[in-house]
Amino acid sequence: MKRTLIVVALISVGCGDASTPAPLANRSGGQADATADAGPNAIREPAAVAERFVRAIVSGDRIAAQRELTANAAARVAREPELLQPLGLATVELRIGEVRLLGPAEAAVQVLITEAGSEGADEVGCLLKRDSAKWGVCGLASNAGDGAEPV
C-alpha cells in the first residue's frame, strides 16, 4: 500500500489565502487545542467529511472525492485534474484516528487505512476548512514510503 499512498499525497491542493495558519506538523506544542473546548459534536462533521473523501479516493470514485473538497481545492483540481488520482483499491478498512479543531473553521483529521492482508495501517492526514456552507478537504499529507519524507 505504501506505493499507492504516493498518489494520494499528490493532491496537495491549496487551502486558501496567505492568512492560512502553518500546517499542524509545524505548530508549536504550546498552542491551545480548540478540540478540548469544542466537544465531540464539533469534530463529528469534519471527521465524516475526511472519511468520505478518503473512502472515495481509495475506492476509485473521483466524483465523490471532488464533492468533499473546498471550493479552492475543487477549482485547483479542475485546472490540474492529475492532482486527484483515485486509487481503486478493492478491500480496505478505514478508521478515523485523531481529530483536532485548529480553529473555528479549520480541522486536521487522521485517517488510518488498512489494506486487506496487510499488517498495520497507513496514515493519511486531511486538512479541512469550513466555508459558509460546509466543511471540505483542502490538503493531504501521507508517508510516501520507507525512507522518504512525508508529503
DSSP E strands, 34-121? 92-103, 106-115
- pLDDT, one tens digit per residue, over 118-144 is 888 888 999 999 988 899 999 988 876
Residue 151 has pLDDT above 70, yes or no: no
CB 145 within 8 Å of CB 9: no
pLDDT at 39: 64
pLDDT at 80: 92
- pLDDT, one tens digit per residue, over 19-78 is 333 333 333 333 344 444 556 678 899 999 999 999 999 888 899 999 999 999 999 999
Instruction: Give the predicted TM-score (pTM) of the model.
Output: 0.73
